[in-house]
Amino acid sequence: MHNEEMINTIKDKTEISKKLKERAIYEGFSLAGIASIPGSSRLKLRTNALERWLSNNHHAEMKWMEAERRKNVNSLLEGAKSILSVGFTYINSQKNNNRFKIGKFSQGEDYHKVIYKKLKNVGKWINLEIPDCKWKICVDTSPLLEKAWAEESGLGWIGKNSNLISKKNGSWFTLGFIILTKDLIPDKPHQSLCGKCDLCIESCPTKAIIEPFVIQSDLCIAYHTIENREKTIPKKIEENLNGWVAGCDICQDVCPWNKSVPYNNTFETTPKKWIKNLGIDSLNWDDKTWEDNLKGTTLKRIKPWMWKRNIRANLRNN
C-alpha cells in the first residue's frame, strides 16, 4: 500500500470511528468508546483476576460467571476486530425516601431492553455507513468481560468497589456493547483514579469488599436480595440490611466521583410509582399484583416470595 493510500485509510477509519461514537451519543448514551481486539495486556490481567475470583468461589451461586466464552470475544462473533462500548446513565433526580430501599439501576425501565433498543438503532446506522461490517449486540447477559472492555475503551476505570467509574458520570450507568468485524481506531484505555480512597471498602456494612476490587458475593447485600434463592437470608446480612430489599447502593453512594454527576431525567429512568410507595402492605400483595408491578423492570428477577422474604428480614431488624 502506498503512503497516500495508507493516510486515506487511516483518515477513513478515524472518521468512521468518530461518527460511530457520535451516533451512540445521539441515540441516548452518555458515554461511548472503542477498543481493538484482542486489546492490551490489561485484558489478560483482568481475565486472570476473574479466574482467581471464580477459583475462590466468590461468585457464590452465580454459576453463569464460569462461562468459558467470557474469555474469547471471537466466540461471540467470528472475525471480531473492534468493540464499541457505551454507558447508559440511569440516575434520575427523583429521590426515593422510602423505608424500603431499591438499587437505583433498577427503579426505571429494564435497562437491558433500553440499551438493546438503542444499540439496535446504532446497528442500523452501521448497516448504512459500514455495509461490509458484521456486528453483534451484547448487553449484560452475554458472556463478555464487560467492565474490562469498557475500561479498555476509555469509558472509565474499574473502581475498588468493582464498579466502572467515569470522571464525568461517576458509576451511575450500565454498559452495552457492539462487537464489530471492522478495524476501527481505538480510544486510550482509562487509568485508575481511585488513588488512596477506601471509602467504599470502609462503608460496606458486611465487609463484602474483602480487598480492593474483590467482592465476596455471599457477603454482599445486593447479592442476597437479588440472587439468593434460599428461604432465609444469613443472619449477618439480615442485621445489616438497613432498609435494602432489592440491591444496595452504599458503595456507590459514598464514592467521591458520584458527588455531582449529570442526571438522566427521561421516562426510561423515572422510578416506578409503586417503588416510591413500597410499604408493609406489599406483604399482602398476591403474585398477580407483584407480577403487574414488576413487569418491564429488571426487578422481576426477584420473585414475589423473595420480596416478602427481604421485607420481613428488614422488619425483624428495624
Would you call 24 helix, strand, or coil by DSSP? helix
Is 145:138 a contact under the CB 8 Å cutoff? no
Band (pLDDT 50/70/90 cuts) for residue 29 is very high
Residues 118-141 have a mean pLDDT of: 93
Cell 456493547, located at residue: 177
User: Do 208 and 158 sit in the same domain of this protein?
Assistant: no
User: Do 218 and 167 sit in the same domain of this protein?
Assistant: no
Band (pLDDT 50/70/90 cuts) for residue 70 is very low
Residues 156-166 have a mean pLDDT of: 95
Task: Give CA–CA dist 89/168, Å, rounded.
Answer: 11
User: Do 127 and 275 sit in the same domain of this protein?
Assistant: no
Would you call 108 helix, strand, or coil by DSSP? coil
**Single pTM value for the model:** 0.89
Nearest alpha-carbon partner for 214 in 251, 249, 265, 257? 251
**Digit-coded pLDDT (tens) for 212-266:** 888 888 899 999 999 999 999 999 999 999 999 999 999 999 999 999 999 999 9
**Domain of residue 230, residue span:** 199-261+270-316
Is 26 part of any domain?
A: yes
List Cα–Cα distances, 155 to 22, 87, 171, 271, in angstroms.
14, 8, 11, 26
Q: Hey, what's the cell of 184?
A: 476501527
Q: What is the DSSP string of 259-306?
A: SS-----STTTSPPHHHHT--GGGGG--HHHHHHHHTTSGGGGS-HHH
pLDDT value of position 64: 45
User: Do 64 and 110 sit in the same domain of this protein?
Assistant: yes
**DSSP-assigned beta bridge partners for residue 174:** 88
Q: What is the dihedral of CA 169, 255, 244, 273, to 10 degrees?
A: -30
Is 75 part of any domain?
A: yes
Total structural domains in the chain?
Answer: 2
Task: Give CA–CA dist 230/35, Å, rounded.
Answer: 40
Band (pLDDT 50/70/90 cuts) for residue 74 is confident
**Domain termination residue (choose one: 180, 212, 229):** 180
Residues 6+ apart with CB under 8 A from 146: 138, 140, 175, 177
User: Do 131 and 255 sit in the same domain of this protein?
Assistant: no
User: Do 33 and 162 sit in the same domain of this protein?
Assistant: yes
pLDDT value of position 198: 96
User: Do 221 and 105 sit in the same domain of this protein?
Assistant: no
User: Do 8 and 133 sit in the same domain of this protein?
Assistant: yes
Band (pLDDT 50/70/90 cuts) for residue 142 is low
Length, in residues, of the chain: 318
- Residue-wise over 169-200: b if at least 16 C-beta within 10 A, else e? bbbbbbbbbbbbbbebbbbebbeeebeeeeeb
For 306, phi then psi, to 5°, come to -70, -40
User: Do 208 and 175 sit in the same domain of this protein?
Assistant: no
Q: Catalytic one among 12, 132, 140, 183? A: 140
User: Do 24 and 155 sit in the same domain of this protein?
Assistant: yes
Band (pLDDT 50/70/90 cuts) for residue 8 is low
Does the annotation mark 286 as catalytic? no
User: Do 153 and 274 sit in the same domain of this protein?
Assistant: no
**Domain termination residue (choose one: 128, 146, 180):** 180
What average pLDDT does the structure give for the chain? Answer: 89
Res. 175: pLDDT tops 60:
yes
Res. 58: pLDDT tops 60:
no
Cell 484505555, located at residue: 189
Q: Hey, what's the cell of 269?
A: 429512568
Res. 122: pLDDT tops 70:
yes
Band (pLDDT 50/70/90 cuts) for residue 296 is very high
**Domain termination residue (choose one: 116, 145, 180):** 180
User: Do 203 and 173 sit in the same domain of this protein?
Assistant: no
Which amino acid is present at 226?
Answer: I
